[in-house]
Structure 1
Amino acid sequence: MPKTKSTSTIDITPVPYDLIVIGSGPAGRRAAVQAAKFRKRVLVIERGRRVGGVSVHTGTIPSKTLRETVLNLSGWRERGFYGRAYRAKQDICAEDLRRRLHITLDHEVEVLEHQFNRNRVDKVIGAARFIDSHTVEVAEANGPRVYSAERFVIAVGTRPYRPDHIGFDGQNIVDSDEILDLRRIPRQLVVVGASVIGVEYASIFSALDVKVTLVEPNAGMLPFLDRELADEFVHDLRDRGVSVRFNAKVTSAIVEGPESCLVSLADGRQIRSDMVLFSAGREGATDGLNLDICGLGTDPRGRLTVDPATFQTATPHIYAAGDIVGFPSLASTSMEQGRIAACHAFGQPAQAPPEFFPYGIYSVPEISTIGMTEEQARERGVPYEVGVAWFRETSRGHIMGIGSGFLKMLFSLETRRLLGVHVVGEGATELIHIGQAVLNLEGTLDYFVENTFNYPTLAEAYKVAALDAFNRMPRQQKSVSAITAKLEDAVRRLAS
């Protein structure tokens, strides 16, 4: 009797977990590690070749690494003293930019994998899709496998929005992922979209002395910023030769030939360059997850709706965090969202997301902001006063050759409390944390006036800006901290 050939079958018995996290970016990694700290069995599924998600491979870390590389090689920080023609390296090529990028990314992946191993978080590489609301199938290299869990956190992130009227070819017309793999530094670059990403790349390439044109369909950029801050940044861009075109809608972008692109605008104008970066928005990477089977839907940009306090979706055992839930789409806030989601998923105490968090834009120069803008204060009818310190007027700013940028603070006229801090200039994303601490601790103008700051430092700008506001505020209003000090002194005397 002839032998029949046995056919291999796929094991469809689900491997059980307490929590499955889909995506290993900032939200996913923090959710996974937090759940592991609760002694839960956790699996992270990553569809990319390596863990880290968009943040490590195409977003936060690469773009900031590129920025730092450009500033170092171009000698940008020294041009205040040695002139705009100064360069630390005369002939900068694309390979110079990529070299540091690869070293940094390898390190980030190594750190993350070590963190997963240390906390006994399992991980698999492959694309996941739900086959029921508690089970996922993962297309792994050796074939599909099935995993189940009591709870899920979806943290798949986003990808660049790529409309049909833009002729992407990956070399001449690129999105914000593809530009990180550039093989040449363009002579002229058109950036379509004055989004956070667009603004960052436009200013970074401008620091390389690339002729940059920034095209934005709206009347201004970054509407969540204090207008004075945005205006100063636009002035800085134009001062160094960046062409900023507002109210300009792109109708098409095509490749005409090698290193030759044509961008057409709705008003009939055309812009020619040898490279185009399209950075007008992102969309959720949720297609392929088969969310319908879980009773979940997405908005037109592929994003999920969640409870803003718990990050729970409409399906109670499924949570979502990070860019996939929309604004603010920051790595910093995504980490907190992932951790809070894991806490709520397992009934553990978790603080509410903070009302105020710092927003950092790693442009050249940096921008960072927290709290109310002047526009918001006026809309809400909050009486306020403003204090401003220009970095060029501080000793440290002069030492560093800084010619632009400022720190601005808003204070309540009624309570003297700090309402908002807005910084544009060198070190803005670091400096903002002083204001963040005072703001969230409900501190007042008097903290800055009464305390001493290291001299010379850029942080001294807080003192200068506070005194600027103090000298215009009503004198009859007593210092809140002075009243508190008198009360404490009275209590001490009574106790003695």
Structure 2
Amino acid sequence: MNSYDLVVIGSGPAGRRAAVQAAKLGKTALVIDKGSQVGGVSVHTGTIPSKTMRETVLNLTGWRERGFYGRSYRVKQKITADDLRARLIKTLDYEIDVLEWQFERNRVEQVRGFAHFVDAHTIEIEKDSGEIQRVHAEAVLISVGTRPYRPPNVPFDGQTVMDSDELLNIKAIPRSMIVVGAGVIGIEYATIFSALDTQVIVVEPRDSMLDFIDREIRDNFAAQLRDRNVKLLFGAGADKVEKIADGKARVTLSNGRVLMAESVLFAAGRQGATDTLNLQSVGLEADRRGRIKVDPITFQTDVPHIYAAGDVIGFPALASTSMEQGRIAARHAVGAEAEEPPQFFPYGIYAVPEMSTCGMTEEEIQERGIAYECGLAFFRETSRGHIMGIQNGLLKMIFSLKTHRLLGVHIVGEGATELIHIGQAVLNLKGTVEYFVENTFNYPTLAEAYKIAGLDASNRIAMLEAAEQQD
């Protein structure tokens, strides 16, 4: 039985980063994955496919040019499901080649098959061929990711009623769609299909969506969606989903309202893929959604040499944070020095338009009783915004009145997930509003919005400070 310093179950962002990190430290690493190719959910059904579809839709529809040429402007008049897949296949092939080369270059071993624990240090692998292999692990990282939550009473068929994995293989672009669930995945796909001129209705039992996003940004985003005729139905869940005649679907809400559409995307949460790991054999237990509890600093489970990282441990469930979790866990697992996870990290939502956030929201700051002031900049106020034909977009920064330090930055609009990194750097370096006022930004750029928002906040702070002195 072969022995490894680190055995990683799952080759998604957390798993592959952990394995490569252990190998770079001179340790032996093995990655076990049930998929036919490396990459996990992130590469095959999650992050990369959804973002590739988004970019394809924006390019083929001419979405970014409609500010100049009107809402009827199109680059390609008839867009098909095959058009969406063509770019996806090329992108996935490239991603897989890169990951395979990373493993080869760093001498990370791979095995394809289903893995489960035999005991705390022994893992059994059932290969596709039926062969059974056992390996010994000094340390283990569980990074199996998640799969869509599929209630038994929902009649999934992959075309009329589908989950977010099945959506990638649709045969035709629907003229109408009901999206059940206003989480990140549901909202991203709802807005992508809205850009394709699909009539979209979003159903959410809660009274709002994306509660971790600053309310002002959410409100701006929701207003843009409603302006595009995306219907947001909050406060009522989907009690019943049915397939009916003529290839349509019917959804009955908890308030009695009945909705009909050509398709239903059920995106009401995800389930940790931990049910086949035999966790009980090592004294571990997953919650009802298959997630594993870990130490937030080391990512150790209740069994010290067994770690978990990525979506399987829950929020924030981002590819970016999963990579960092995997790297930290691997260093800790093999006895190398490991820094704590960074205090502030960016959260990106690849909807149409994008949203991105880093640091505290205005609501969180209010709850903590911190005296603060905000600075706002609308993208249409920038010369680059005019050049690009951008009519919407908002950058918001929040500063401490006492120290002038940046507390949070929140963006909705074109390029939000790129622009956020400027704010992230200032946050982690404990920068103040003076940084934005005193430094030069390229002109014309959307990043100039930081300068505008900084000046806005600085002027407001100066007025408040002058008023306090007079009092």
Instruction: Provide the secondary structure at the position in 2 that maps to 1:131.
Output: strand
Instruction: Please tell me whether residue 190 in structure 1 is matched to residue 178 in structure 2.
Output: yes
Distance 1:294 1:257 in 2: 50
- Report the count of equivalent residues: 465
Which residue matches 1:415? Answer: 403
Cα shift readout 1:16-64 (whole Å, capped 9, x = no counterpart): 1111100000000000000001111111001111110000000000000
Instruction: Provide the secondary structure at the position in 1 that maps to 2:460.
Output: coil
The answer for unaligned runs of 5 or more in structure 2 is 467-471
Q: CA deviation at 1:144?
A: 1.4
Cα shift readout 1:132-171 (whole Å, capped 9, x = no counterpart): 1111111112311111111100000000011123221111
In the superposition, the TM-score normalised over structure 2's length comes to: 0.97
Decide whether the 8 Å contact of 1:368 with 1:422 is kept in 2. Answer: yes
Distance 2:222 2:381 in 1: 20
Alignment of 1:71-150 (within 5 A): 71-142=58-129, 143-150=131-138
Q: CA deviation at 1:259?
A: 2.4
Q: Match for 1:435 among 401, 423, 437?
A: 423
Instruction: Please tell me whether residue 173 in structure 1 is matched to residue 169 in structure 2.
Output: no
Cα shift readout 1:81-107 (whole Å, capped 9, x = no counterpart): 001111100010000000100110111
Distance 1:206 1:258 in 2: 22
Instruction: Provide the secondary structure at the position in 2 that maps to 1:152.
Output: strand
Cα shift readout 1:331-365 (whole Å, capped 9, x = no counterpart): 00000000000011011111101111100000000
The letter for the 2-side match of 1:213 is I
Decide whether the 8 Å contact of 1:165 with 1:251 is kept in 2. Answer: no
Decide whether the 8 Å contact of 1:35 with 1:343 is kept in 2. Answer: yes
Instruction: Please tell me whether residue 232 in structure 1 is matched to residue 227 in structure 2.
Output: no
Larger mean CA deviation between 132-141 and 180-189 belongs to: 132-141
Which residue matches 1:342? Answer: 330
Larger mean CA deviation between 251-260 and 240-249 belongs to: 251-260
Distance 1:362 1:416 in 2: 31
Which residue matches 1:458? Answer: 446
Structure 1's 454 and 295: CA in aligned 2 closer, same or farther, altered over 3 A? same
Rg: which structure is higher? 1
Alignment of 1:97-496 (within 5 A): 97-142=84-129, 143-474=131-462
Distance 2:118 2:171 in 1: 41
Distance 1:410 1:145 in 2: 55
Which residue matches 2:22? Answer: 35
> Once superposed, what is the RMSD of the aligned Cα atoms?
1.0
Distance 1:286 1:227 in 2: 34
Which residue matches 1:10? Answer: none
Larger mean CA deviation between 30-39 and 140-149 belongs to: 140-149
Which residue matches 1:70? Answer: 57
Q: CA deviation at 1:257?
A: 2.9
Distance 2:35 2:240 in 1: 31
Structure 1's 201 and 271: CA in aligned 2 closer, same or farther, altered over 3 A? same
Decide whether the 8 Å contact of 1:248 with 1:265 is kept in 2. Answer: yes
Cα shift readout 1:219-272 (whole Å, capped 9, x = no counterpart): 110000100000111100000111111112110111113420000011111110
The answer for unaligned runs of 5 or more in structure 1 is 1-13, 479-496
Distance 2:152 2:68 in 1: 46
Distance 2:52 2:190 in 1: 15
Instruction: Please tell me whether residue 56 in structure 1 is matched to residue 38 in structure 2.
Output: no
Distance 2:203 2:40 in 1: 29
In the superposition, the TM-score normalised over structure 1's length comes to: 0.93
Distance 1:34 1:367 in 2: 31
Which residue matches 2:469? Answer: none
Distance 2:39 2:460 in 1: 49
Taking every aligned residue pair, what percent have the same amino acid on both sides? Answer: 65
Instruction: Please tell me whether residue 25 in structure 1 is matched to residue 12 in structure 2.
Output: yes
Q: CA deviation at 1:313?
A: 0.6
